[in-house]
């Protein structure tokens, strides 16, 4: 793959032969972010599990202490009092059958999170084939299927993120913006990794955290020392 001049210059700042401590990692990621926009900082964690087995799934959701730096747009499926509560909490879109029809007929996807009250899952279930592939399908484990939709909206707006394995046993999550600085990024990172470590399946054997790489949107990856993540596997 051909790389641009900025990437090549940024890559020179990273020692690919070593594993960085967390604070060093965030500092290196910030210094190597050369784009003219405020780049997103992303974490990629490879786990020693097999996502094909139900007892080795790793999935959950957490609220990052400093949010993600992103304006999160929230769609809520609810009726009556719950719909009013969701609107009051700051939901961008609230509805029921009308939202189902809008998504089906207008290909409406101008939102980042979908939340539903349990009684709405009969409607939301019809959207599984379109919401699922986009990672937008509400799920009780992620706290996006809940009777307390107002709280879910507040958490989503505050920086709640979902983490889950992909088919290659890697978790990909954004933990903020380069402009956050080392301290805030480190706190968000530690919150995420703490949750991932706590979610270690009982069926997982051997080394749990295989590798962890942090990168900015346009920058090179920085390898984190797994032994410094609270899991000396």
What domains lie within the chain, and their CATH numbers? 5-67+160-228 (3.30.190.20), 74-158 (3.40.50.790)
CB burial string 187-218: b at 16+ within 10 A, e below: bbbebbbebbbebbbeebeeebbebbbbbbeb
231 pLDDT more than 50: no
What value does the mean pLDDT take over residues 164-186? Answer: 94
The model's pLDDT over 118-129, given as tens digits with 9 standing for 90+, comes to: 999 999 999 999
Q: Report yes or no: 32 and 170 within 8 Å, Cβ to Cβ.
A: no
- Distance between CA atoms of residues 17 and 2, nearest Å: 21
Count the residues in the chain. 233
- Distance between CA atoms of residues 204 and 61, nearest Å: 20
Torsion, Cα 104 106 110 112, to 10 degrees, reads 10
- Collapsing DSSP to helix, strand or coil, 43 comes out as strand
DSSP assignment of 54-87: GGG--EEEEE-TT--SS---EEEE--HHHHHHHH
8 pLDDT more than 90: no
pTM exceeds cut of 0.85? no
């Amino acid at each position: 793959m051909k790389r641009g001049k900025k990437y090549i210059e940024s890559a020179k700042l990273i020692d690919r032969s070593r594993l960085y401590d967390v604070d060093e990692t965030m500092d290196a990621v910030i210094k190597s972010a050369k784009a003219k926009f405020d780049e997103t900082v992303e974490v990629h964690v490879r786990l020693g599990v097999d996502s094909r087995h139900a007892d080795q799934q790793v999935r959950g959701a957490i609220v990052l202490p400093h949010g993600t730096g992103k304006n999160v747009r929230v769609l809520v499926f609810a009726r009556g009092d719950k719909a009013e509560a969701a609107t009051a909490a700051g939901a961008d879109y609230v509805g029921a059958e009308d939202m189902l029809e809008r998504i089906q007929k207008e290909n409406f996807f101008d939102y980042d999170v979908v939340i539903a009250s349990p009684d709405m899952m009969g409607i939301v279930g019809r959207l599984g084939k379109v919401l699922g592939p986009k990672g937008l399908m509400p799920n009780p484990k992620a706290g996006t299927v809940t009777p307390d939709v107002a709280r879910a909206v507040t958490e989503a707006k505050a920086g709640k993120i979902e983490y889950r394995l992909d088919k290659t046993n890697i978790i990909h999550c954004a933990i903020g913006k380069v402009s956050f600085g080392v301290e805030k990024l480190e706190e968000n990172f530690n919150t995420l990794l703490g949750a991932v470590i706590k979610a270690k399946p009982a069926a997982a054997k051997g080394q749990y955290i295989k590798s962890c790489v942090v990168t900015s949107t346009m920058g090179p990856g920085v390898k984190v020392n797994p032994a410094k993540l609270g899991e000396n596997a």
